[in-house]
């Protein structure tokens, strides 16, 4: 009747939903965001899903399913076990997900999936409260070198996750020896971490800029460094870490994977459609407005990139001491 023609969105409470192939109408394209609503993966699925149907690249709407759990591990395991050949399924992933795989935190290896494309990247930033005595990245680094335990740092990932590693990479470049001594606190999102910093509970936040950009514009927090090669177009005044002598970049790219057993034609078709989407005005606008830098890598090039990044990430995690 009223909602008859609508594809459903299963959200929130859809806990580890064992979505069998049979349960989903055969024609529906589905994008799984392996997180709760509101985060980066959720944004990826919702925005890409919306634009895919706006551009007519899929039949009807794209059904967005939230399947949180284990920083993407639940979804990864489900796709590997139950839907490896479902060509109508795409799953959001990012540097965060690849970091988890590189550290052996997913129940299946990297090869279990085929990686489609990267469509944009969020830039990692190091931020302090507006009232903080720390004015520059150099001052932060000096404080951490003098006493690694002096400051409380936080972000949206757990210990050893990408937000944490980015901060440790900066500290390592600055010459902090005992990286394990730096205090790290996990929050459920970058916004949670920032508000706790404004409340005086923690001193430094390391996370993606996109989610917390509003607090930068309102003047509540101060960004010490952007972990990008070039200044961010939306915030040209924020200095990069490189420009301050710390040679660290920390992007969080946003991309998609599909099951490991989809055929080459189906894979190629997805890459082609995503490239069309990437080049559209809709995506460029949506990405920029939400603080992403549009970047394209697709198909075989992207597969190679993912593999290389996983190796690099494993090496960094080993160096820093996150894994043995």
In angstroms, rounded to a whole number, what is the distance separating the alpha carbons of residues 132 and 319? 31
Kindly state whether residue 231 participates in binding other proteins, applying the rule CB under 8 A: no
Site map (CB under 8 A) of other proteins, residues 21-40, x = contact:
xxxxx----------xxx--
The two three-digit tokens of residue 26, written as one number = 């055969």
Nearer to other proteins, 148 or 239 (CB): 148
Kindly state whether residue 189 participates in binding other proteins, applying the rule CB under 8 A: yes
Kindly state whether residue 13 participates in binding other proteins, applying the rule CB under 8 A: yes
Residues in CB range of 237: below 8 A, 6 or more apart: 231
Strands 89-94, 29-33: pairing is parallel
Question: Looking at 110-118, 155-163, 231-239, 297-305, which segment touches other proteins (CB under 8 A)?
Answer: 155-163
Give a three-class secondary structure readout of the chain. CCCCCCCCCECCCCCCCCCCHHHCCCCCEEEEECCCCCCHHHHHHHHHHHHHHHCCCCCCCEEEEECCCHHHHHHHHHHHHHCCCCCCEEEEEEHHHHHHHHCCCCCCCHHHEEEEEEEEEEEEEEEEECCCCCCCHHHHHHHHHHCCCCCEEEECCCCCCHHHHHHHHHHHHHCCCCHHHCEEEECCCHHHHHHHHHCCCCCEEEEEHHHHHHHHHCCCEEEEEECCCCCECCECCCCECHHHCCCCCCEEEEEEEEECCCCHHHHHHHHHHHHHHHHCHHHHHHHHHCCCEEEEEEHHHHHHHHHHHHHHHHHHHHHHCCCC
Residues 55-84 that bind other proteins (CB under 8 A): 61, 67-71, 73-74, 77-78, 81
The two three-digit tokens of residue 129, written as one number = 């409260």
Kindly state whether residue 302 participates in binding other proteins, applying the rule CB under 8 A: no
Among 218, 236, 237, 264, which residue sits at the site for other proteins (rule: CB under 8 A)?
A: 218
Kindly state whether residue 184 participates in binding other proteins, applying the rule CB under 8 A: yes
Question: Looking at 41-49, 115-123, 226-234, 253-261, which segment touches other proteins (CB under 8 A)?
Answer: 41-49
Kindly state whether residue 175 participates in binding other proteins, applying the rule CB under 8 A: no
Kindly state whether residue 283 participates in binding other proteins, applying the rule CB under 8 A: no
Among 183, 276, 305, 307, which residue sits at the site for other proteins (rule: CB under 8 A)?
A: 183
Among 172, 195, 249, 282, which residue sits at the site for other proteins (rule: CB under 8 A)?
A: 195
CB 300, min distance to other proteins, A: 30
Kindly state whether residue 254 participates in binding other proteins, applying the rule CB under 8 A: no
CB 263, min distance to other proteins, A: 19
CB 303, min distance to other proteins, A: 25
In angstroms, rounded to a whole number, what is the distance separating the alpha carbons of residues 18 and 23? 9
Among 201, 263, 279, 315, which residue sits at the site for other proteins (rule: CB under 8 A)?
A: 201
Q: Is 322 exposed, middle or buried (0-12, 13-18, 19+ CB in 10 A)?
A: buried
Contacts with other proteins by CB under 8 A: the residue count is 83
Kindly state whether residue 16 participates in binding other proteins, applying the rule CB under 8 A: yes
Question: Looking at 87-95, 114-122, 190-198, 303-311, which segment touches other proteins (CB under 8 A)?
Answer: 190-198
Among 130, 136, 172, 186, which residue sits at the site for other proteins (rule: CB under 8 A)?
A: 186
Kindly state whether residue 9 participates in binding other proteins, applying the rule CB under 8 A: yes
Among 1, 56, 146, 265, which residue sits at the site for other proteins (rule: CB under 8 A)?
A: 1
Among 114, 164, 222, 297, which residue sits at the site for other proteins (rule: CB under 8 A)?
A: 164
The two three-digit tokens of residue 170, written as one number = 């900066």
Residues 131-150 that bind other proteins (CB under 8 A): 149
């Amino acid at each position: 009747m009223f909602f008859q023609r609508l594809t459903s969105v299963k959200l929130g409470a859809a806990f580890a939903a064992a979505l069998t192939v049979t349960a989903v109408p055969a024609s529906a394209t589905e994008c799984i965001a392996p997180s709760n609503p509101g985060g980066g993966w959720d944004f990826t699925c919702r925005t890409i899903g919306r634009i895919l149907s706006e551009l007519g690249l899929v039949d009807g709407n794209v059904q967005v399913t939230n399947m949180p759990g284990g920083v993407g591990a639940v979804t990864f395991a489900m796709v590997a076990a139950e839907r490896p050949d479902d060509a109508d399924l795409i799953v959001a992933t990012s540097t965060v997900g690849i970091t988890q795989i590189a550290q052996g935190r997913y129940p299946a290896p990297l090869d279990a999936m085929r990686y489609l494309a990267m469509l944009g990247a969020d830039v990692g930033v190091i931020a302090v409260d507006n009232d903080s005595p720390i004015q520059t990245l150099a001052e932060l680094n000096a404080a951490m070198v003098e006493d690694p335990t002096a400051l409380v740092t936080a972000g949206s990932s757990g210990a050893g996750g990408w937000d944490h590693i980015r901060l440790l990479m900066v500290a390592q470049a600055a010459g902090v020896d005992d990286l394990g001594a730096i205090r790290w606190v996990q929050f459920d999102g970058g916004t949670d971490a920032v508000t706790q910093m404004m409340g005086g509970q923690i001193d430094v936040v390391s996370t993606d800029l996109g989610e917390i950009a509003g607090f930068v514009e309102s003047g509540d927090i101060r960004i010490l460094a952007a972990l990008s090669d070039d200044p961010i177009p939306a915030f040209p005044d924020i200095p990069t870490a490189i420009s301050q002598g710390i040679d660290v970049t920390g992007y969080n790219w946003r991309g998609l994977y599909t099951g490991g057993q989809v055929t080459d034609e189906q894979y190629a078709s997805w890459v082609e459609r995503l490239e069309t989407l990437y080049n559209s005005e809709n995506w460029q606008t949506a990405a920029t407005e939400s603080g992403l830098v549009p970047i394209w890598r697709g198909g075989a090039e992207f597969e190679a990139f993912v593999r290389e990044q996983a190796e690099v990430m494993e090496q960094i995690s080993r160096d820093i001491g996150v894994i043995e």
